[in-house]
Structure 1
Amino acid sequence: MDAYKILIVDDDPHICEIVQAYCEREGFIASYSHSGTEAMKLLVSLEPDLIVLDVLLANENGIDWCRNARNCTNAPILFLSSRGEDEVKISALSDGGDDYVTKPFSPGVLMAKIKAHLRRVSTGRREQLLELPGLTLDYYAQSVNMNSKTVFLSKKEFSLLSYMAQNVNRVVPVDTLFQLIWGMESLEDTRTVAVHISNLRKKIEADPANPERIVTIRGAGYMMVAGSAFKD
């Protein structure tokens, strides 16, 4: 399993270095930022599994940052703050925070909380996996893993693959795929399905010209085959 990624957002360099050191001691990948603006860019590029966030950032409000971050991440957010007032804690937890630790803090207690939240993340991720021989769909990352290699798909490609994987070894008509993925009101036509299937095959087939995972059933539709062909 890949190492967990932790994003630390605090305007105190010393705090960032301490938390980073303890995270890396646990085998996590830890990055930090002293600026909320820069941290938002890191959030998008890093896609962290957990965020440690100060309530009082320089010229910024950590609670406002948390509220904005919830538009692009479901990662647990653990507040780390010198503010111990109940109203501040309530606001932080009501606006997207998952936990609250008051400074000065015990690094051991902080790490115990981080690991507890990551266990819940891990459980949630396992529930978002669909496994077939030689191929695993990850609904959390919208990707497919084949023999330890991760392939990222477009939203439409993933939707097509996901539906066929849920109906493995069954013929799925082109009209069914089109209506499910594009919708009845789409201005596209059913030939769009063939284009996306072709692009999908280029990403998951050893030989896209002679597909073994997603096969065409002439006059009927497509079928995902789960069997010896998946075992490379």
Structure 2
Amino acid sequence: MVVDDDPHICEIVQAYCEREGFLCAYSYSGAEAMKLLKSFEPDLIVLDVMLANEDGIDWCRNARSYTNAPIMFLSSREEDEVKINALSYGGDDYVTKPFSPGVLMAKIKAHLRRVSTGRREQLLELPGLTLDYYAQSVIMGSETVFLSKKEFSLLTYMAQNVNRVVSVDALFQLIWGTETLEDTRTVAVHISNLRKKIEVDPANPERIVTIRGSGYMLVARSTK
């Protein structure tokens, strides 16, 4: 969730977040952001220190009554006193403007990884592959790959049916529902995108294999 009274900043952060597969919502005012906080239930918040009609640090302090999500301040204020107050009243990080979107995204991912540490009940572990429900990511060895909502849903369903064939129709109905204008060929497109993220050689997949005439199968073999 992004809280900033500058629409341009909100659009930039949203674009980069969605490109990485995150669902992103934003608000220009503190009052609206507080309502959004309760309905959207974000995993992480990017917050401006100086909102139009409210102090971002005060907003952060109030928000702590409703969420434990990491809060990253994004501000043009560089004074040490402001940074100290921001981090003392509930903030987890402080990034100054102008900022590098790439660095911001790296920080967001790092915070999400830290938050998910210890949440074993939110992990689905397979040989060589671990799904993190909290961060909506897949962990392969030391590498963490963030997926879009539909990609993660597809992979989760196949992981729950590991080493078994899952039909295209089953995947389509599960992810898109029966009352949709989408075509079942959409599944193939998303599988292709998923392979690009988790396969060593997407053209010759070894994790998500096609069972001709039947569907797909997530293969998870023990490396022992």
TM-score normalised to structure 2 length: 0.54
Segments of 4+ moved more than 6 angstroms: none
Secondary structure (helix, strand or coil) at the match of 1:80 reads: strand
Q: Report the residue type matching 2:49 in the other structure.
A: V
Amino acid in structure 2 at the alignment position of 1:117:
H
User: What amino acid is aligned across from residue 105 of structure 1 in structure 2?
Assistant: F
Q: Secondary structure at the match of 2:73?
A: strand
Distance of 1:114 and 1:127 partners within structure 2: 22
SS at match of 2:16: helix
Shift of 1:121: 1.8
What CA distance in whole angstroms lies between the structure 1 residues aligned with 2:64 and 2:14?
23
- Looking at CA atoms only, which structure, 1 or 2, has the larger radius of gyration? 1
Cα deviation digits, residues 148-167 of structure 1 (max 9, x gap): 7xxxxxxxxxxxxxxxxxxx
SS in 1 for 2:11: helix
Q: Which residue of 2 aligns with 1:45?
A: 39
| Partner Cα separation in structure 2 for residue 127 and residue 100 of structure 1 | 30
CA distance in 1, matches of 2:119, 2:37: 19
Q: Does 1:16 align with 2:10?
A: yes
| 1:128 Cα deviation from its structure 2 partner | 7.0
Q: Which runs of 5+ in 1 are unaligned?
A: 1-6, 130-137, 139-146, 149-232
| Structure 1 vs Structure 2 CA RMSD | 2.1
**1:26 and 2:26 matched:** no
Q: Which of 84, 97, 103 is 2:91 aligned to?
A: 97
The residue number in structure 1 matching 2:153 is none
- In the alignment, what sits opposite 2:172? none
**Structure 2 Cα separation of the partners of residues 95 and 58 of structure 1:** 20
Shift of 1:126: 2.7
Structure 2 runs not aligned, ≥5 long: 124-132, 134-155, 158-224
SS for the counterpart of 1:60 is coil
> What is the distance in 1 between the residues matched to 2:27 and 2:74?
14
1:1-232 aligned at under 5 Å gives the runs: 7-126=1-120
How many residues are matched? 128
| Higher RCO (CA-CA < 8 Å; seq separation 6+) | 2
Paired with 1:124 and 1:16, the residues of 2 have a C-alpha distance of 31
Q: Residues 89 and 42 (structure 1 numbering): CA distance in 2 closer, same or farther, change over 3 Å?
A: same
Deviation at 1:111, TM superposition (A): 0.3
